[in-house]
Amino acid sequence: MNEVFLKLKNSLTGKWQGEGFAQYPTIDNTKYTERLAFTPDEFKDVVHFEQKTLYRNNTEKNGQTVFWDTGFILLKDNKILMVSSQLSGRQETYELVRNELNSFIFESIHIENDIKGTIRSQRVFTMSEGALAYELNMASRGLSFQNHLSATLQRVG
């Protein structure tokens, strides 16, 4: 698992930005801009992340915060975990369940303080030539598992 964590850390480290699209039966579909930063700790097997998205549409919300999330990706007990704390108060813990070529797939193992009633969520990071494709898929009570967010980000700096 150490090799996989090092590959993940080295692939993600840095600042990323780009555009994405949010959709789900409970929201109005919207485009958004995203900034995502991954900062590794030099002494521990942990990477801090911060993700912020802003509306990019023709409404009064244009330029306002859609989503803000911070947390850690860490190697613990031979598992790679992603711990997320979100603007809404929602907290999630994910576990890396698959690593295929340049894709890392995290599945939720614990969700707390969720007003949407999410019962399952999944984050997918796929790297290619200086680009990062990101997906958040989820299911909430009464709704099937489906894509909620997708973005393509470019490394900056």
Q: Confirm if 152 and 133 have CB atoms less than 8 A apart.
A: yes
Question: Would you place residue 11 in the very low, low, confident or very high pLDDT band (cuts 50, 70, 90)?
Answer: very high
- How would you write 60-76 as a 3-class SS string? CCCCCEEEEEEEEEEEE
- Write down the domain spans for the chain: 2-156
CATH superfamily of 2-156: Calycin beta-barrel core domain (2.40.128.20)
- Per-residue pLDDT tens for 74-121? 999 999 999 999 998 999 999 999 998 899 999 999 999 987 788 999
Q: What is the pLDDT of residue 115?
A: 78
- Per-residue pLDDT tens for 40-86? 999 999 999 999 999 999 999 999 999 999 999 999 999 999 999 99
Q: In the predicted model, is pLDDT for residue 1 greater than 90?
A: no
Q: What is the pLDDT of residue 142?
A: 87
Question: Would you place residue 156 in the very low, low, confident or very high pLDDT band (cuts 50, 70, 90)?
Answer: very high
86: exposed, middle or buried (Cβ count in 10 Å: 0-12, 13-18, 19+): middle
